[in-house]
Structure 1
Amino acid sequence: MADDFDTGDSGASATYPMQCSALRKNGYVMLKGRPCKIVDMSTSKTGKHGHAKVHLTGLDLFTQKKYEDICPSTHNMNVPRVTRKDYQLCDVSDGFLSLIDDGGETREDLKLPEGDLGKEILKRFENSEMFMVSVMKALDEEHVIGTKAMTS
């Protein structure tokens, strides 16, 4: 019998469980299927039926949309694995960024962000500034979230 391995990932999940009562403000959590940063949380007292409830308010990491959820404090919630990496900007063409990491690897698959951040990146690029862009990744979704000056 031959085993069929269609996926080549390391088996590490994009999320991991954490008890509601262990979550903290400014931490991350999955709300309504989206990776969110916790901006507010409150815990209600234990009621007649035994469980304290945690009321979570979070902002989507990528769209800044607000999500809310209520969960018993003893239950688990999924927490997204969030990574952040800085790349040096090499080029901007056709709305995509050409980036290089500190290991010399290049990538050209990230779109120029919309709004003020995109305008700032374009302006700094057109002024021939050397700078880094910060890329946040969660659940196979990646977005440029900021810029910072190069330190040599």
Structure 2
Amino acid sequence: MSITYTTVGELKVGSYVVIDGEPCRVVEVTKAKTGKHGSAKANVVAIGVFSGAKKTLMAPVDQQVEVPIIEKHIGQIIADMGNKIQVMDLESYETFEIEKPTEDELASKIKPNAELEYWEIMGRRKIVRVK
């Protein structure tokens, strides 16, 4: 798994964080300074990259959190096999199967020989764009 670490206080909207083992994109960050001797807390709301589920993280701003490293690749669709797609990476020529996206905009563009951009995050792959 390719991850790095940062503090909760450095997270911004649009960045990525691992919550409960799921890579998520941050959609909201609110910080609250507690009482006289307390440390500042941050409330992070994020959407799961693969599941689409909303997740929250409440932690002190100086706490370390995992940040996934996103590897972006270009591939070519070889075959449409129902709910999976066979893709060949255009750099390494590796072939693999990947889940067909559920978004109508992406699913309608999927046809053999089309190029696509996919992300590899923590050992899992997701189609982001079909060209």
Is 1:19 the counterpart of 2:2 in the alignment?
A: no
The whole-number CA distance in structure 1 between the counterparts of 2:10 and 2:80 is 42
Larger Rg: 1
Q: With structure 1 as the length reference, what TM-score do the two structures score?
A: 0.74
Identity over aligned pairs, percent: 19
Structure 2: 5+ residue runs without aligned partners? none
Q: What is aligned with 1:30?
A: 18
> Which structure is higher in strand share?
2
**Number of equivalences:** 131
- Which letter maps to 1:81? I
- What code does the residue aligned with 1:140 have? G
8 Å contact kept, 1:28–1:79: yes
Hey, what's the Cα distance between the residues in 1 that align with 2:94 and 2:83?
Answer: 16
- The Cα of 1:96 is off from its aligned counterpart by 3.0
Call closer, same or farther: CA 1:20–1:119 in 2, change over 3 Å.
closer
Q: Which ranges of structure 1 fall in alignment gaps of 5 or more residues?
A: 1-12
Match of 1:5 in 2: none
What is the SS of the residue equivalent to 1:62?
A: coil
1:51-102 deviations in Å (ceiling 9; x for gaps): 1111100000111110011110111111111222121222223543232233
What's the TM-score, normalizing by structure 2?
Answer: 0.85
**3-state SS of the aligned residue for 1:119?**
helix
TM-align CA RMSD:
2.1
Q: Is the 8 A contact 1:85 1:134 kept in 2?
A: yes
| C-alpha separation in 2, matches of 1:36 and 1:114 | 18
Task: Kindly state the Cα deviation for residue 15 of structure 1 after the two structures are TM-superposed.
Answer: 1.8
Identify the residue that residue 145 of structure 1 maps to in structure 2.
Answer: 128
1:108 to 2:91 alignment? no
Q: CA separation of 1:33/1:111 partners in 2, compared to 1, >3 Å: closer, same or farther?
A: closer
Match of 2:79 in 1: 91
After TM superposition, the structure 1 = structure 2 runs for residues 108-147 of structure 1, keeping only pairs within 5 Å, are 108-117=96-105, 119-122=107-110, 125=111, 131-147=114-130
Runs of 4+ in 1 over 4 A off after TM superposition: none
